Amino acid sequence: MKSSWGIYWDRFITLLILINLAVVAFDLSYLSIRGLYLRYTPSITERYDPIKGVSPHPLTQAYLATAEQLQASVAETGLDSQQTTSLLSDLQEQSRILITEDPYTTSEQQAVFGKLQRRMRGYVNTVSTQDAFNEFWQRDYLEAQGWEDANLFFTQRIQPLLEQNYYRQTLETGQYIDYFWTIDLIFVIIFGGDFLLRTWFISRRRSHLNWGDAIARRWYEFPLFFPFWRWLRVVPAAIRLHRSGMVNMERVIAQITHEPAAYLSDRVSRFALVSVIQQTQDAVQSGNFLSDPDGTWSRVGDERKLERLSDRLLQVVIYSVLPSVKPELEELLNHSLEEALKRSDLYEQIQQIPGLDVIPDNVLDNLSSYLAQATCDVLADSYQDVEGQLLVNQLTKQFRIALVEKLKNQSTSAEIKVLISDWLEEVKLNSIQKANQYDPESTLEEVEQINQKVEDKSPPKSNS
C-alpha cells in the first residue's frame, strides 16, 4: 500500500503529464491556428514563432509594405499624384507575382490563399483573380468606388490574410526548424527519472520481478520519452489519472471499448471452441486418447491415476451402487433363475414327480434374494480382505487390459473414432449455430452486471 507521500507524488506527476499534454496539444495545433493567435493575441506569435522557426513570408510582407506606403501617399498627396500612380503600378505587378508563385503553398495554407482570392473577386465582381487585383489597384476604380471604402475592405478583409502567411526556416538536412524539444526536454527528464525510480522500487518490492520486467510492464509510459508521436501521451495520461484515483476512467474505457470488445470476445470464444474440439477430434482419430505411441504425452500428478480411478469406481459400485439396486437385482435373478430352470432337463424331470409339478414362488424369491445379498456381501468382504482385494485388483487390471485391447481392435476402434468424431462435429456445429442466436453486446452487458455485483460486494482496493 502506498504512503501518503507516494500518493501525493503520483498525483503531482500525473498533473505534470496533463500539463505536458496541454503543451504538446498547443504545439501540434499552433501552425494551423496561428492566424487566430496573430489576430487576437499577437504576443503569443511573437514569443512562439522563433521556437517553430516561423518568420513572416518576404513576398507577402513586401506586398503589405507597399500597400502601407500607398495609404500614406494617398493621405499626403491624394490619388492623382505621381507617387501614388507608381505605387499602384507596383502593387499590380506584385499581385501578378503573388498569384503566380502562390507563397501560401510552403506554409500549407492554400485554403487561406483561396479565401483571399474569393474575397477579391467578389468585391470587384469578376471571375478572374488577376483581373480583380488589376482592377482594384487602378486610380479610376478607387475613385469610383471611393478610397475610404476600398481601403477599409483591404485592411479588414485582405490584409489579415496576407499577414497570416509565413515562411518556415529549414536546417541543412532540409527539415523544418523546431525547438520545441527544448521545452519538452524538461518534462522528459522528470518523467524519465520518475519512471526509472518507480520501476526500480517495484522490482525491489516484488521478488519475482527484475528491473527489466518492471520496465516492460510499464510499456504504456514509453510515449512520455518519445521525441515523436507525442500525441500518444494521452494513453499514459489516462492510465495515470485512473490509477492515481483523481478520475475514474473505468466507465469511460468500458464505453469506448464496449462494442469492439463484445464482438471480439465473441469471435475469440468461437475460435477457442472450434480449436479445442478440432484438437480433440484429431486425438480421437489418431488414437492418442488410448495410448502414448510416441512417448510425448505429458504426465500430471500420479502416474497411476487410471488404476486409482478404477479402484475408486469399484468402491462406489460395491458399497453404494449395488445396495441401492438390490431390489432390482433380486427381480432380475428371480426372472433369470425361473427361465433357466424352465429350459433345463432337471426342471422337466421334477415336473414328472407328483406334487412337484410347480415350483413355489417363495422358493425362487428366497433364492434370488439370497444370491443378491450374497453377491453384495461377497464383493464387499472380498474388497476388504487383503487376498480378496488382490484378486479384485487382478480382475480389474485384466478387465482394463482386455477393454483396451478390444478398443484397439481395428473394427471397434474405427467405429468408436467415427462415433466420437461425429459427436464432436455435432457439438461444434450446434455450438456455433446457437452462438449466432445470442447478441454479443447483451452477453457483455450481463458480464458487466455480474462484475458490478462482485465489485459492490468486494472490499475497496488499496492503491499500490
Q: With 60 as the cut, is the pLDDT of residue 160 above it? A: yes
pTM, 2 dp: 0.56
Do the strands 54-56 and 166-168 form a parallel or antiparallel pair, or are they unpaired?
antiparallel
- In tens, the pLDDT along 352-376 reads 555 544 555 555 566 566 666 666 6
pLDDT score for 269: 75
Could you tell me the three cell numbers for 315? Answer: 468402491
The answer on pLDDT for 2 being more than 60 is: no
* Percent of the chain predicted with pLDDT > 70: 59
How many angstroms separate the first and last alpha carbons of the chain?
5
What is the H or E stretch that residue 133 is in? helix 129-136
Look at residue 463 and tell me whether its pLDDT is greater than 50.
Answer: no
How far is residue 430's CA from residue 107's CA, in Å, rounded to a whole number?
62
pLDDT recorded at residue 78:
87
189 residue type, one letter = I
What is the C-alpha radius of gyration for the chain, rounded to an integer number of angstroms?
A: 47
Q: Averaged over 134-152, what is the pLDDT? A: 92
Q: Give which of 185, 222, 215, 216 is closest to 197, Cα–Cα.
A: 215
Amino acid residing at 64: L
pLDDT at 21 over 90: yes
The domain ranges of the chain are 4-27+179-256, 54-168, 263-289+421-464, 305-408
Q: What is the pLDDT of residue 305?
A: 57
Q: How far apart are CA 118 and CA 138, in angstroms?
A: 19
The secondary structure of 308-329 as a DSSP string is HHHHHHHHHIIIIIHHHTHHHH
DSSP designation for 146: -
Is pLDDT above 70 for 28? Answer: yes
More confident residue, 332 or 291: 332
Angle at 184 between CA 183 and CA 189, to 5 degrees: 115
pLDDT digits (tens, 9 = 90+) for 197-213: 888 888 888 777 788 88
Say whether 195 sits in a helix, a strand or coil. Answer: helix
pLDDT band at 432 (very low <50, low <70, confident <90, very high): low
pLDDT (mean) for 119-134:
93
Bigger pLDDT: 189 vs 442: 189
What percentage of the chain has pLDDT greater than the value 90?
28
The pLDDT assigned to 43 comes to: 92
The mean of the pLDDT values for the chain is 77
Taking the C-alpha atoms of residue 18 and residue 16, their distance in angstroms, rounded to an integer, is 5
Q: What are phi and psi of 361, to 5 degrees?
A: -65, -35
Whole-number pLDDT of residue 464: 43
Is the confidence at residue 87, as pLDDT, over 70? Answer: yes
pLDDT digits (tens, 9 = 90+) for 261-307: 677 777 777 767 676 777 676 766 665 555 555 555 555 555 665 56
- Half-sphere exposure of 227 toward its Cβ, with a 13 Å CA cutoff? 9
What is the 3-state composition of the chain as percent helix, strand, coil, each rounded to the nearest 5? 75, 0, 20
Higher pLDDT, 264 or 65: 65
What's the pLDDT tens digit per position in 386-427? 666 676 667 666 666 665 666 566 666 676 667 777 777 776
Strands (E), 73-210: 166-168
pLDDT tens readout for residues 225-234: 888 888 888 8
Closest to 67 in 3D by CA, of 45, 95, 101, 39:
95
pLDDT, average across residues 31-60:
90
Q: 142 with 79: CB under 8 angstroms?
A: yes
Identity of the residue numbered 77:
T
* Range of 128-137, 191-200, 341-350, 444-453 with top mean pLDDT: 128-137
pLDDT at 129 over 50: yes
